[in-house]
Structures are given as C-alpha cells and as structure tokens.
Structure 1
Amino acid sequence: MVGDSLVATGSGGRSSRFAVPRRLLGTWSLWELPRRGLIGYLLLVDAAALAATTYLFALRPPAPSALLPFSALLAGMILSSEISRPIERSRADTRLGAGLDAAWIFAGALLLPPALAATLVVASAVYRWLRIRRGIPHRQVFAAAATMMSALAASLLPILVGAAPFADATRDFQGFALVFGTGLVFLSVDAALAAPAAEFGAEPSGFAFDAAMVAFGLLIAWSAVDWPFVTIVLAVALVVLHRAGMMRALRGHAGTDAGTGLLTASSWLDGARTQFDLLRGRGTDLSLLMLDLDHFARLNDEHGRSVGDDVLRAVADTLRAEVRAADLVGRFGGEEFVVLLPGTTRFDAHAIAERIRLRIASTSVSLGGRQPDDPLFAGTTISIGVSSHPADGETLDRLVGAADQALRAAKVAGRNRTVVFEAEESLD
C-alpha cells in the first residue's frame, strides 16, 4: 500500500537465504541512481581502474627497491591526513577527489611504477573510509577509481615517450616540460572522469585546489630524490597551508544552500555534531530524518530543471514549516534532505515524518500551462528514513547511516513511505 510506514532492521530486513548478497548488492545506493547509463559509466570506470592496475602489476612487476619510496610516501600521506583529519572531514562531506592526499599520490605517479602508484590511491581510499568519513559507498569507490586512472595515466606518460625515470632525469627545461605535462595529464584525466559526478549529487574537488596539490606533489617528489630531509619540511608546510586555507573557506562560506536556503551538508554536519555531543552528554533523546524525493530525475526530464528547482524550494519551505526552530534542517545534495530533531523520541519522530510526507505529497508548483491539455501543476512524493539515539547509534555517523539504510528500505518498498530503522536485538 502506498504511504505505508515500515520498520527496517539492522540485519537488512526480513531474513532469507539471499540476505547476504542482497545486502551487498541489492541495497547498494548505486542502483537508486536515476539513469542506467550513469550506473554503467560508474561501473565501467571502477572496472577499468581495477583491470588496468592488475594488468600493469603482471606486465611490470614492481622491483623490491620501489617498496622503500612507496612506504615513505604512504607514511607521509597518512601522517599529513591524520593531522588534517577534522578539516578533511568537512571537505569530504560533498566533495569528490583525494583532497590533501593528491599531493602524495602525484608524487607517487612521478616516483613509483604505475601499479604501485595506483596502489597508493587504494591505500588512500581505505584510510579515508576508515578514518575520515564513511560516505556513500559507490561515490567513494568511483572517486578512488577515477584517481587511480589519473595516477596510472600520469605515471605511464614518461614511459610512453621514452623519457628517463624522474629520479634519473636532468633538471632542465625539457625535464620540467615533461613533468608539467605529466601534471596536466593527471589533472585532465581526473577532471574528465569526475565530470558526471554532478549527476549524483557530488562536486568535483575543484581544479585550482587539485593543481595546488599537484604542485606540492612535484616538490615532494623532487625533494625525496635530491634532498630527502626537505620532504619533512614540505609535508609540514602542506598541512599548515591546507588547514589555513580550508578554515578560511569554511569561515567565509555562508553555510546555506543557494537553491533552498537550507543548511549545506557541511554546515548541517557541523551543527549536528555540536547538538549530538551536547544531548548525548545529557542523556536526552534525539532523532534524525533522512528524506529523498521520489523520481525527481523524471520530474526534471518531463518539466525542466526550473520546475525541479521550484519543487525543491517548495519542499524546503514545507520542511521549515513542519519542524521547530531548534530542529536542524539541511540539504544533503541533489534531492536529499536531512533533519535533526533534538529531544525527540522515535515515536514522535515517526509522527513528524509522516506529517511531512503527507504535506509534501499535497504540495505542488504551478506550471503555467497555456494550452488546454497542458498540465497546470507539478508535485512529488518523498521517502523518509528515521533513526533515533541511543538505540540506533552511539555516534552521529552511525545515526546518519541507520537513517540512510531505512531510507533505502523505503525506496525498495515502493517509495512514498516512512521507514523506521530498528536494530536487530542480539540473542543471548
């Protein structure tokens, strides 16, 4: 029945012998993307990165001597990222790309065999997943795959033109031109592969930022060959400049989404963490709603993006009208929204979610039809996932993940409904 309220368990819902593959594949948010061509493109890039790396490992196995610079770059990358972790977490909320790690990855593209350069990207992706942010899996996998392809292309360029390895090359204009070209290849491949990212709500990291990281990567590689101790100085300078620049950017950012007037993802997360830590210390209930418009891509295709923007604004207005001033409402990118409800139990959060869902289902925007057969109004429905603290998570990340899982369950169950996450009780 359309509009039902359901419960999603932490074990993936109702059990069956297909529970594990369904959890791994069937509920992956990749399948919720609106265009099959986009899904195919993302999978193609992922597969190409894996296949190319595997082939190059077999074709040009890294010599044991390459393991020392690989280990040094890996250690420097992890250390600098760990120091900058709070800033990188804010940046990682909505941005694709390797971030601060791009400097070390490009240095690896200059110094390491292609397969090891790609492996450095894999190490960066695993570290970011474990220590910075566990975001949408298909988005983070694609970001890593695109960066792997960029590193492979950059490290293969000197080989293809028959140039000497970076460590043995002369430091003259010809050598600089080759390194400059290598940097352009790295940036261009990454930008070209990430261009479709806007289709699923993420933003590329920005050419100027990536170019600055590539420039630092060149200096790191150069110092590692000619004056290794300077690499430590450059690493410290990279972290300091990165932190200062990102802090200025965060302070200068208005914190609101231009299209809806709601908080941006990074601003919402900053406020939500503050609220979460405060209320957790007091032992107060707290709930979270994750909301996603149903078939929004189809609405854009049928009526145009301007109508889609009007619908997003109408939904944002409805959210503001249906929650309290103390509640935190943000836009998570694309057609996804999130609401933090301090001092709200699971039962009350479910009631609020249902009220919002029904209100949005009855909201429409004018199309201004001029012909008798033209539609006059356009509207949408919304799917909502609900999670609550402390039952569904002791951290904000887990609470967001639980609500996201409930939201995906609502989509699978037919959309236009509210699903409450319910962690499966352990059996003694």
Structure 2
Amino acid sequence: MVGDSTVAAGGERRPGRFLPALVPQRWALRRWALWGLPRRGSVCYLVGVDALAVAAVVLAALRFPPATAVVAPFALLAAGMVVSAELARPVERHREDTLLGPGVDTPWIFAGVLVLRPGLATALVVLSALHQWFRVRRKPGYRQVFGAAATTLAALAAGAFLTATGVRPLGEVLDARTVGLLTVAGLVFLVVNAALVTGADGPRRPREAAPGHAFDAAMTAFGLPLAWAVAAAPLLVPVLAGATVVLHRGGLGAGRRDHVSIDPGTGVLTAASWRGAAEARLDRPGGPGPAVLLLDLDHFRLLNDRYGVRVGDAVLRAVAGTLRDEVRAADLVGRSGGEEFAVLLPGTGPFDAMAIAERIRLRIASTLVALKASGDGPQFVGVTVSIGVAGCSPDGVLADALLAAERAVLQAKAAGRNRTVCAEPGVSSS
C-alpha cells in the first residue's frame, strides 16, 4: 500500500498477511529471509550445515543412546545454564556476536560434551538457542537455526575426538596427557564452530576478531571445572555458575558493546553511539567500504495524532525489532531521529545493500501492532518506510554517505513513499 502508513483492520485481513496463530511468522519456513539471500551458494551452504547437523545428531544418538546415569548431570547443567543466562541477560543483549554464538552458555555446553552422551549434549545446545530466541535477542530464524547447527557440529566433533583418544575427562587422576587432550578437545570445539561460521559470513579482520576469540576461549575453558563439579561435587556448581556470571558481566566478554548507549524506547543504539561506532568502523583499514541505510517512517506523525503516542511507541519498537532481526551480527542499527533509523552495513556493495534494504522495507510493511480491541473485533496498525541507500569508500567520510542517503530518502518520499532508493542515479525500487 504505497504512500499510506496506517492500516486499520476490524476483522479484515490482507491476503497473505497472517499465518495461523499457532505458527509464528518468523519460524514459517516459506517466509524466512534465507530464501531471499542474493547468493544461492550461501543458501545451499546454510541449509547444508543444518542438514549435516541433524544427520550427525541422529547417528550419534543411535551409536551412543542416552543412559539413565546421565539424566541427573543433564538436569543440573540445564538448570545452571538457564539460571546463569538469565542473570547475564542484560549483558548478553548488547554483546557483539563472536564466532561462538552461545556466549555465557558456552561453558555449560562444553561441560555437557565432557560428561553427557551426544544426544543430551545436543539438547543443551537446543535449550540455549531457545533461551536466546525467547529471552535475549532474536535473530532471523534461519540464522538462529544455523548458529545452533554450527555449535552442535562443533560439540559432536569435540566429543568424537575424546572418544577416539580414549580420554576420561573425569578420571581420578588428571595427568598431563589428560589435560592436554582436554585442551585439544576445547580447541576442536572452537575451531570447528569458527570455521562453519566463517564459511557463512566470511573472514573477519584479525584485529576485530581477537577480542571475540579470547572471549570464546575463556568461556570454553570454564567448562572444564564445571564438568568436574557436576560429576564430583554438585554443590560447587552454583558457586562456579555465579563466578561465570560475575566474570562475564564484569568484563570477561571483551566483545560486548555495553560501553555504548542504548535508546530505551527501541533497544537500538542512540544517534550519538551509532555515529561513534560507525566512524570507528571506518577507521579500520582494509576491506571494502560499508553501505549506509537511512529509514524514515512514512506519515508517522499522522499515526501518532490518530492513535496516540503509546501506539506510536509500540510501532517504533516493532520497527526496531524488525531491523535487528533482518541485519547481520556485524551491522550497526541506531535511531537517528524521532521516526528515523540508520543502519551501517560493513563490507557491503550497492547490490547487496539494496537487497537488504528491500527485504527490510517489505518486512516493516508487513509488521502490524495490535490496537485496543473494539466491538468490531481486533484492530491493527502498521507503517511503511522510505529507505535511502548510499555507499561509502573505505577511506571515505561518514557524513558524506549520510548526506547522500538522506537525499535518497527525500527522493523516495517524493516518488510516493514506501520505496527504496539508492544514491546512485537510476537505481531505485518500489
């Protein structure tokens, strides 16, 4: 509905807008943004890793079926992981993604590799992914599944290494050989996961990736005392869990971005923090330049006047949530004004930036916020967005890219709104 930002529905639904209530739209396979990726090779790779993880779990579960003796350790690890993840949730929400996705859950998952059968160790990975989805940060569904699949394959590879070497992680004597093999198992866990994620997202600059690698290694190493405590001294598990959370929140996660300011209304970066972080990205030498997206909600003031500020705030939160879902881990999302948002896409060319912007525009146009129910049934309100896209050379000035993107937004507004316009002449989409 080009140029019209409000949609009131009193029982009437747009065709294709809604799925059955029991099937969340994010998890409906046919609606995943995965199928809209510009490179078919990326789609095949992500789906292939997912399929390989499922096959590996089935084979491992058949080869090593769960035993009654490990039910209690599994319950202890699962409970400790959920509780510690809840306590660390304020930090995890704003931690920059590292190559090992589980974050504060990592020591519990690696401990599960050491003390559990493969099937139950995989169950910890699934539980971690579900907690991340419902309580921490929601990524696009296909990315959430891929992250869990990569961690699962890494855990199974580490477990297979331990089985092949015959090491007993919880033996009575931790001699030098055992400690060395446990260290190698941790490295296998880290390297396999990093390789799988790098295959999907491409390599990161060493300077940029080093803090994340250190964080992942520290969290994995903490799984060793956790595994020992689960089997030999269960009462120490809460103590170690508390230590994990304190270290994590106190600075162990060097990849966090809690030093920046978060807009309380939308949960994305404030304008000043976004600009500072974006300029810091431009200061890093090497690699292609980033792209900038500026998004301006169409007729937002009319929406506020008609439905009230509370509904307007709910729409802003919904738009911000859509942006966080649709961008990649390395991208920066900020609120640049009252109804304006900005996105920095590092290492993204004009074609891919336009594809991402179009996907965002379509997702926002299909996002609705429920209004107070009336006698005519439920009502919903939605909003459209005009997007300006501009590229920036590696040694360019951010202000120039923002100015070009702003001019593109004005062109989108003049062309009828609900459009994506690239700052390059003649490249637009509606």
Q: What is the TM-score with the length of structure 2 in the denominator? A: 0.61
Deviation at 1:129, TM superposition (A): 1.5
State the Cα deviation string for residues 392-427 of structure 1 (Å, max 9, x = none): xxxxxxxxxxxxxx99xxxxxxx833xxxxxxxxxx
Distance 1:328-1:236 versus aligned 2 partners, 3 A rule:
farther
Partner Cα separation in structure 2 for residue 179 and residue 83 of structure 1? 28
Tell me which amino acid in the other structure corresponds to 1:416: S
Q: Which residue of 1 aligns with 2:29?
A: 25
Q: Which residue of 2 aligns with 1:151?
A: 155
Deviation at 1:86, TM superposition (A): 1.6
Deviation at 1:233, TM superposition (A): 1.4
- SS for the counterpart of 1:166 is coil
Matches within 5 A, 1:168-187: 168=171, 170-187=173-190
Choose the corresponding residue for 1:256, options 246, 267, 274: 274
Query: Are residues 1:243 and 2:269 paired?
Result: no
Partner Cα separation in structure 2 for residue 65 and residue 333 of structure 1? 49
Distance 1:169-1:12 versus aligned 2 partners, 3 A rule:
farther
Partner Cα separation in structure 2 for residue 7 and residue 281 of structure 1? 13
Q: Which residue of 2 aligns with 1:193?
A: 196
Choose the corresponding residue for 1:166, options 149, 164, 169: 169
Partner Cα separation in structure 2 for residue 18 and residue 283 of structure 1? 26
Deviation at 1:256, TM superposition (A): 2.6
Partner Cα separation in structure 1 for residue 54 and residue 7 of structure 2? 34
Matches within 5 A, 1:114-133: 114-133=118-137
Distance 1:162-1:365 versus aligned 2 partners, 3 A rule:
closer
- SS for the counterpart of 2:94 is helix
Q: What is the TM-score with the length of structure 1 in the denominator? A: 0.61
Q: Which residue of 1 aligns with 2:68?
A: 64
Deviation at 1:227, TM superposition (A): 2.8
Asked if 2 retains the 8 angstrom alpha-carbon contact of 1:98 and 1:124, the reply is: yes
- SS for the counterpart of 1:256 is helix
Distance 1:200-1:331 versus aligned 2 partners, 3 A rule:
farther
Deviation at 1:168, TM superposition (A): 2.6
Deviation at 1:194, TM superposition (A): 0.8
For these two proteins, the number of residue pairs brought into alignment is 322
Matches within 5 A, 1:45-56: 45-56=49-60
Tell me which amino acid in the other structure corresponds to 1:236: G
Query: Are residues 1:213 and 2:219 paired?
Result: yes
Asked if 2 retains the 8 angstrom alpha-carbon contact of 1:262 and 1:329, the reply is: no
Tell me which amino acid in the other structure corresponds to 1:174: R
- SS for the counterpart of 1:135 is coil
Q: Which residue of 1 aligns with 2:269?
A: none
Asked if 2 retains the 8 angstrom alpha-carbon contact of 1:93 and 1:135, the reply is: no
Q: Which residue of 2 aligns with 1:397?
A: none
Q: Which residue of 1 aligns with 2:429?
A: 416
Asked if 1 retains the 8 angstrom alpha-carbon contact of 2:215 and 2:253, the reply is: no
Deviation at 1:330, TM superposition (A): 3.3
User: Where in structure 2 are there 5+ consecutive unaligned residues?
Assistant: 262-272, 282-306, 324-330, 347-352, 365-379, 394-403, 410-417, 420-427
- SS for the counterpart of 2:79 is helix
State the Cα deviation string for residues 60-82 of structure 1 (Å, max 9, x = none): 10111011111110011011011
